[in-house]
Copies of this chain bind each other. A is one copy, B any other.
């Protein structure tokens, strides 16, 4: 452990570690980690984008990627939160749009959102190898639309995996159940796809029960793991936990695989991919987030492969029913 290393010590998830940090090559990557997409670039070779972050529009960049070139995709798209104050938070930019007519706006917004998802998924399907798999995560605000679009595009759903948060924001008003879950859809390109990667042993370790169930219990991203800006504010509003990506990657990829994240945010996917000896391709349009990724990649990471006894106790405690 060299000076300046800031190892992410997930207190709740530490017992044994992989014993491998990102190697020198991985660290050198930071020099030319980012590629800026430009209109005059017509096509990207796989080698040209491997272990790179492409600063640019997801859809535009995806169209330039090589077909059947990636082994796994993780996508964490905008969630399309419709806020109750009659304003919509759009996924494109952080502007608030007045809802003049609720019905009209709802229809417009759904259609716009659906098209965005459909277009991205269409390109993602194109760049997937025949036996690649894809993960998409969202909450109930949009996961149903996404799943339906995926089925319509011919994706064959393998599982819905439910992330149960041990520390959700309680619903203080008491007007509905506390929303403590996010849903991940895991799918292959089409019904015929066989021999995709599925590491049963990891799945059994992560899922509750003894059968490797489609339910993962883990906390949201906070503490040292959470990236902050210069003002100490969180850099990204929905940064995903390392543990989540660890599970996704370990259950569905092999070492050396190519993992694509088209809406990378602060780059958790690529960061964990690298630490687990996978390759990544990330796309992100927001320079602020890309800056966060660059900073992040300067620091190696130990991934704790096992879940500690202490964490197990914490989770059990959380899951306790009744009084």
Chain A positions near chain B (C-beta within 8 angstroms): 82, 102-103, 106, 110, 139-141, 143-152, 154, 157-162, 164, 166, 168, 170-171, 174-181, 183, 185-186, 191, 198, 200, 203, 205, 207-209, 211-215, 217, 251, 306-307, 309, 312, 315-316, 318-322
CB distance from A95 to the nearest CB of B (A): 19
CB distance from A112 to the nearest CB of B (A): 14
Interface centre among A151, A157, A307 (most CB of B within 10 A): A151
Asked whether A215 lies within 8 Å of B181 as measured between CB atoms, the reply is: yes
19 contacts between A and B (CB under 8 A): A102-B191, A140-B159, A147-B148, A159-B179, A161-B177, A170-B211, A171-B212, A174-B198, A174-B203, A177-B213, A178-B209, A178-B214, A180-B209, A180-B211, A208-B318, A209-B319, A217-B321, A306-B322, A319-B319
Across the interface, A110 reaches (CB within 8 A) one of B151, B166, B171, namely: B151
Report B-chain residues with C-beta under 8 Å of the C-beta of A213.
164, 168, 177-181
Q: A102-B191, A147-B140, A307-B322 are in contact. Are A177 and B208 (CB under 8 A)?
A: no
CB distance from A173 to the nearest CB of B (A): 9
Cα separation A162 to B180 with both chains bound (whole Å): 10
Interface centre among A144, A152, A306 (most CB of B within 10 A): A144
Cα separation A150 to B160 with both chains bound (whole Å): 19
Cα separation A184 to B313 with both chains bound (whole Å): 29
Report B-chain residues with C-beta under 8 Å of the C-beta of A307.
321-322
Please provide the 8 A-B residue pairs with the shortest distance between their CB atoms, ordered closest to farther.
A144-B147, A180-B213, A174-B200, A140-B160, A148-B148, A177-B214, A178-B211, A170-B211
Cα separation A179 to B158 with both chains bound (whole Å): 9
Cα separation A110 to B171 with both chains bound (whole Å): 36
Cα separation A110 to B307 with both chains bound (whole Å): 41
Asked whether A159 lies within 8 Å of B176 as measured between CB atoms, the reply is: yes
Report B-chain residues with C-beta under 8 Å of the C-beta of A170.
211-212
CB distance from A147 to the nearest CB of B (A): 3
Interface centre among A102, A141, A179 (most CB of B within 10 A): A179
Given A162-B181, A315-B319; 4 other pairs, CB 8 A cutoff: A158-B177, A162-B215, A168-B213, A179-B214
Interface centre among A146, A177, A207 (most CB of B within 10 A): A177
Report B-chain residues with C-beta under 8 Å of the C-beta of A140.
147, 157, 159-160, 185
Cα separation A211 to B154 with both chains bound (whole Å): 38
Across the interface, A208 reaches (CB within 8 A) one of B147, B164, B179, namely: B164
Report B-chain residues with C-beta under 8 Å of the C-beta of A145.
144, 147-148, 151
Cα separation A322 to B171 with both chains bound (whole Å): 30
Cα separation A159 to B178 with both chains bound (whole Å): 8
Cα separation A180 to B168 with both chains bound (whole Å): 22
Across the interface, A143 reaches (CB within 8 A) one of B144, B164, B175, namely: B144
